[in-house]
Structure 1
Amino acid sequence: MSKAAVIFWSQTGNTEQMANAIADGIREGGMEVDVLNVADTTPADAVKYAKIALGCPAMGAEVLEETEFDPFFTELESKISGLKVALFGSYGWGDGQWMRDWVQRTNDANAVIYTDEGLIINETPDDDGIAKCKEFGKGFAAF
């Protein structure tokens, strides 16, 4: 059985809640999954998985978190060509530009991206948001 990783960064816990729900969906979809905080893994370890779901909230002027997550993703970009990748995160303002930029970077790295929009949820995921995360994970497992 192939294994997926859900790798995330979360300041308030919103993106972490999304990560756990996505992992539940991946399990429901029949895959084993590890849930990892970005501080607890490396790009070299990440690419050992059959699929990786990456989660980061919008920060500042709609950018990836700049201290831990963006440096991790910048190093990962050169290693993800052909790898199945899903993107997700929470936001509190703006219109999702950080996700569109992140999807573009992932496409430019020639990853095989699950959905061209990623999954974004405003603020704390409610029951509907958690359900969307689980469906996203289940779909990613089948992808």
Structure 2
Amino acid sequence: MKKVSVIYYSSTGHVEAMANHLAKGAELQGAIVKVLRVQDAKVNDVLDADIVAFGCPSMDGNTIESDEMQPFITEFKIIPVEKKKCFLFGSYGWDKGEFMDKWIKTMISYDFDVIDKFVIHEAPAKQDLDKCFEYGKKLLTY
């Protein structure tokens, strides 16, 4: 059975809802799934997983959240991940979601294999949550 870690930051609950639907989709396909707020995640939650999904909203300056998510991600600058497959997801508000392109570049530079992304504007609608569920099911096919 494949192991999937879904690690997210959510201040409003939008990204948390996306994370939970992603996890349900992966579980339906038989994955062993851990869903963790980034402040509860450990490096081994990434290293021990076959696939990791990271979720975060866009914050000031079109970046990922700087107090919890960014420091956690930065740990992997020096920890070998050897092309660990990762999926990135999140939401944005006033900006146009450019944070995701920056985040992808960062993850690739840290040697992650970014297999896909999903980003939405504002709060997830039912169809967005349905897409998260479908992405979760698809995670095991990469």
TM-score bracket, shorter-length normalisation: over 0.9
Q: Does 2:53 match 1:27?
A: no
Q: Distance in 1 between matches of 2:115 and 2:139?
A: 7
- 1:140 maps to what in 2? 139
CA contact (8 A) 1:29 1:142 kept: no
What's the TM-score, normalizing by structure 2?
A: 0.93
- 1:108 maps to what in 2? 109
- 1:68 maps to what in 2? 68
- 1:51 maps to what in 2? 51
CA contact (8 A) 2:7 2:36 kept: yes
1:16 is displaced (CA, Å) by: 0.2
CA contact (8 A) 1:81 1:109 kept: no
CA contact (8 A) 1:58 1:89 kept: yes
Q: Distance in 2 between matches of 1:8 and 1:44?
A: 15
1:28 is displaced (CA, Å) by: 2.1
Q: Distance in 2 between matches of 1:121 and 1:9?
A: 15
Count of aligned residue pairs for this structure pair: 141
Q: Distance in 1 between matches of 2:97 and 2:104?
A: 11
- 1:86 maps to what in 2? 87
Instruction: Please tell me the root mean square deviation across aligned C-alpha atoms, in Å.
Output: 1.2
Runs of 4+ in 1 over 4 A off after TM superposition: none
Post-superposition Cα deviations, 1:72-131, rounded to whole Å, max 9, x if no partner, equal: 00102433232111100111121121100001111122222112xx11011111110001
- 1:130 maps to what in 2? 129
What's the TM-score, normalizing by structure 1?
A: 0.92
Q: Distance in 2 between matches of 1:51 and 1:77?
A: 18
Gaps of 5+ in 1: none
**SS of match in other structure, 2:96:** coil
Q: Distance in 1 between matches of 2:46 and 2:35?
A: 11
Moved more, 3-12 or 21-30: 21-30
CA contact (8 A) 2:5 2:45 kept: no
